[in-house]
Amino acid sequence: MVTPENIAFDIDGVFANTMGLFLEIARKDFGINNHKYEDITTYFLEDCLDIDPEIIRVIINRILEGEFESELKPIDGAVDVLSEIGQAHPLLFVTARPQLSTVNEWVHRMLPLEPSDIEVIATGTFEGKGDVLKARGIQYFVEDSLEVCHMLSEQAVSPILFRQPWNRSPDHPFREVGSWAEIRALVDLPAS
């Protein structure tokens, strides 16, 4: 059973609409208007978008550093569901981002919870997520990278794949969700 104390969350692509921000920066700052969210079919953006790799690198670095004028928005429904879960048990987010400050500040700004009810850990690598989750006794992790789901599964963490255009594969063994309403339906929350 998924309970508030045994589930944790990725940020980019699960809570934060980071790819939407990427496309917005490409449009506003570089005049690149010919790509849609659905065109992002792999994490390696150079492989699926007809954008100069140097521009891709610049945009990704801006996002990681928090140096952008456009707004990084949460995925629809995320704030409400995370707030409800966070009222039952402190939230844990684990991200592969190399630096904590920018994304930590964003998470705390988005959620109407006490700072002590939110913990964000930046591992710097995808491989580091499993160790953090195991050390915290987390059984379930909501993730948007199919590759990371496979890694977590090997470490006895049950991944829940958040459906995105870049993780479509017909043959994977993981539970999938396509919305925060579906995540809410999985989590056994105490009656209010």
Confidence at residue 28, expressed as pLDDT on a 0 to 100 scale = 96
Q: Note whether 72 and 106 are within 8 A (CB).
A: yes
Q: By 3-state DSSP, what share of the chain in percent is helix, strand and coil, each rounded to 5?
A: 45, 15, 40
Whose CA is closest to 122, among 97, 102, 142, 145?
97
Is a pLDDT exceeding 70 seen at residue 102? Answer: yes
Place of tokens 């049950």: 158
The residue-averaged pLDDT of 62-88 equals: 95
Is a pLDDT exceeding 70 seen at residue 192? Answer: no
The torsion angle over the Cα atoms of residues 123, 10, 126 and 177, rounded to 10 degrees, is 170
Phi, psi at 106, each rounded to 5°: -60, -45
Place of tokens 């954008």: 51
Whose CA is closest to 160, among 169, 171, 170, 149?
149
Phi, psi at 161, each rounded to 5°: -80, 120
The residue-averaged pLDDT of 88-106 equals: 95
Span 138-151, pLDDT tens digits = 999 999 999 999 99
Span 151-173, pLDDT tens digits = 999 999 999 999 999 999 888 99
Give domain 4-16+74-186's CATH number out of 3.40.50.720, 3.40.50.1000, 3.50.50.60, 1.10.3720.10.
3.40.50.1000
Q: How far apart are CA 29 and CA 172, in angstroms?
A: 37
The residue-averaged pLDDT of 171-181 equals: 96
Q: Note whether 10 and 144 are within 8 A (CB).
A: yes
3-state secondary structure of 110: helix
Confidence at residue 43, expressed as pLDDT on a 0 to 100 scale = 86
**Distance (Å) of CA 19 to CA 2, 137, 158:** 28, 30, 25
Q: What is the pTM of this model?
A: 0.96
What are the residue boundaries of the structural domains of the chain, listed by start? 4-16+74-186, 18-65
Is a pLDDT exceeding 80 seen at residue 91? Answer: yes
